[in-house]
A and B are shown apart, each in its own frame.
Chain A
Amino acid sequence: MSNSKDDVVQSAPPKSRWTDLYLKEDWWAIWLGLFVVLAAYFAFTSGSSFVKAIAINPGGLKWDNVGQIFAHLGANAPQYIMQYVFWLIFFTISTAIMGVKPSKFIPSFTLLYIFSIIIFAIGGWKYAQYFNLEPPLVALVLGLLLANVLPIPRWLDDGFRVEYYIKTGIVLLGATFPIALVVSAGPVALTQATVISVITCLTIFFVGTKYFKLDKRFATILGMGGAICGVSAAMAGASAVGAKKEHLYSTVTLVVIAALIMIIVLPFVSKALGLPAGVAGAWIGTSEFADAAGFAAAVSYGHMVGNETSALHAFTLMKVIGRDMWIGIWSFVFALIACMKWEKEECGVAPSPMEIWWRFPKFVIGFFVASIIMTLVTSGYSAAEFAKSVNPNLIAPISSLRTWTFIFCFASIGLTTRFKDLKSVGWAATAAFSIGVVVNVFLGWFMSTQVFYGFWSVLK
Chain B
Amino acid sequence: MKSLQNCSKCSFFMNDPGKFEKTFPGFTVLSSAYGSTRADAGLCMKNDRIFLPSRKVCKEFVPK
User: Which of B25, B32, B62 sits near A163, CB closer than 8 Å?
Assistant: B32
At the interface, yes or no: A255 with Cβ under 8 Å from chain B?
yes
How many positions in chain B have a CB within 8 Å of any CB in the partner chain?
46
Give the complex CA separation of A377 and B35 in angstroms.
30
Interface residues on A, range: 35 or more
> A245 to B50, Cβ gap below 8 A?
yes
> A11-B5, A12-B54 are contacts. A418–B24 as well, Cβ < 8 Å?
no
Closest to B53 in A: A11
Tell me which of A248, A255, A290 contacts B50 (CB under 8 A). A248
Give the interface SS of chain A, mostly helix, strand, loop or mixed: helix
> Which residues between 8 and 23 of chain A lie within 8 Å of chain B, taking CB atoms?
8-15, 20, 23
Among candidates B1, B39, B42, B56, residue contacting A11 with C-beta atoms closer than 8 Å = B56
How far apart sit A418 and B27, CA to CA, in the bound complex (Å)? 11
Could you tell me if A25 and B35 are in contact, using CB atoms closer than 8 angstroms? yes
CB distance from B57 to the nearest CB of A (A): 3
Q: How long is the Cα–Cα vector from A18 to B4 in the complex, in angstroms?
A: 22
Beta-carbon contact of B6 and A348 below 8 Å: yes
Q: Does A24 count as interface, using CB distance less than 8 angstroms?
A: yes
Partner of A164, one of B8, B34, B50, B57: B34
Answer yes or no: A242 CB below 8 A from chain B CBs.
yes
A98–B57 contact, CB under 8 A?
no
Q: Does B36 lie within 8 Å of A242, measured CB to CB? A: no
Contact B32 A25 (CB under 8 A): yes
Give which listed residue, A11, A24, A351, A422, contacts B35 with CB less than 8 A: A24
Interface check A239, CB cutoff 8 A:
yes
Interface string of A418-458 (1 = CB under 8 A from B): 10011100000000000000000000000000000000000
Q: Check B59–A24 contact: CB distance below 8 A.
A: no
Partner of A10, one of B4, B32, B37: B4
Task: Find residues 330-382 in chain A having any chain B CB closer than 8 Å to their own CB.
Answer: 335, 339, 346-349, 351, 355, 358-363
Contact B36 A361 (CB under 8 A): yes
A25 and B31 alpha carbons, distance in the complex (Å): 11
The reply to whether B48 and A348 form a contact with Cβ atoms under 8 Å apart is: no
Contact with A along B12-43 (1 / 0, CB 8 A): 00001110000111111111111111110111
Minimum CB–CB distance for B12 against chain A, Å? 11
Inter-chain CA distance A198–B8, complex, in Å, is 32
Cβ of A173: which chain B residues have Cβ within 8 Å of it?
Answer: none
A-B contact pairs, 28 of them (CB 8 A): A2-B59, A3-B59, A8-B59, A9-B3, A10-B2, A11-B57, A14-B54, A26-B35, A98-B17, A160-B28, A161-B34, A232-B37, A233-B37, A235-B41, A242-B49, A243-B50, A245-B23, A245-B24, A290-B30, A346-B56, A346-B58, A358-B39, A359-B39, A360-B36, A413-B29, A416-B28, A417-B26, A417-B29
Chain A to chain B: the 3 pairs with minimum beta-carbon distance, closest first: A239-B41, A348-B57, A421-B25
